Amino acid sequence: MRMKFETKRLAMNLITIKDLEEIHEMNSFFEVSEFNTIGIPKDFSITKKMFQPLIEEGLNPQPKNYVWVIRLKTTNKFVGEIGMNLKPAKYSSAEIHYSLHPRFWGNGYAKVTVKQILKYGFESLNLHRIEAGVTTGNTNSIKLLEVVGFLQEGVRRKILPLRGKWYDNYHYAMLEEDYKALN
């Protein structure tokens, strides 16, 4: 079963091999890699090696890790990717991540897709908790998480290796009852 979602302006489909060149190109921008531990991939083979297991995972009937590619509905133009990694079933929780191509920043696309993934997690997967980590200097992502209703729970000190240095990470979460209160 191919899981896909649509919003007014966007379509989100599980990642396929055909999406990797656009993901590679997006991750080659310093602005995208600045706050993620992936960094700028040296060449396409690294991107392929990193995402191939996620493509295969998406083919499972009940995947534990999801990655959706975000595209404009009107033109099918690549916007970015968003993912959710489920934790062991007894915890009933997941962690989300997202990256958008810089040419689409500031259009509200991240907010809409994060809300869509929250809806899927809480309403379809019946999760108790959804988490997100963000580098303390990533003010745009911090603002996004807070606008959609995540609460900051703490700081993990020097946990993220970025460009040869260690950085702090804010830990955010939304509980099922938080989601229901917002919706």
Give a yes or no: residue 79 inside a domain: yes
Q: Which domain holds residue 84?
A: 4-129
Sheet holding 93-100, edge to edge: 4-6, 10-14, 65-72, 78-86, 93-100, 129-135, 165-175, 151-162
Of 68, 58, 50, the residue nearest 110 (C-alpha): 68
d(CA 147, CA 111): 8
Give a yes or no: residue 161 inside a domain: no
pTM for the whole thing? Answer: 0.92
DSSP the chain: ---EEE-SSEEEEE--GGGHHHHHHHHTSHHHHTTSTT---SSHHHHHHHHHHHHHHHTSSS-SEEEEEEEETTT--EEEEEEEEEPPGGG-EEEEEEEE-GGGTTSSHHHHHHHHHHHIIIIIS--SEEEEEEETT-HHHHHHHHHHT-EEEEEEEEEEEETTEEEEEEEEEEEHHHHHHH-
Q: Number of structural domains, the chain?
A: 1
CATH number at residue 124: 3.40.630.30
d(CA 171, CA 105): 23
Looking at residue 68, its pLDDT comes to 96
Looking at residue 1, its pLDDT comes to 40
Give a yes or no: residue 139 inside a domain: no
Give a yes or no: residue 74 inside a domain: yes
> Counting every residue, how long is the chain?
183
Looking at residue 104, its pLDDT comes to 97
- 10-residue block means of pLDDT along the chain (183 residues)? 83 94 91 83 85 83 91 97 96 97 96 97 97 96 97 96 93 98 95
- Name 95's bridge partners: 85, 131
Give a yes or no: residue 153 inside a domain: no
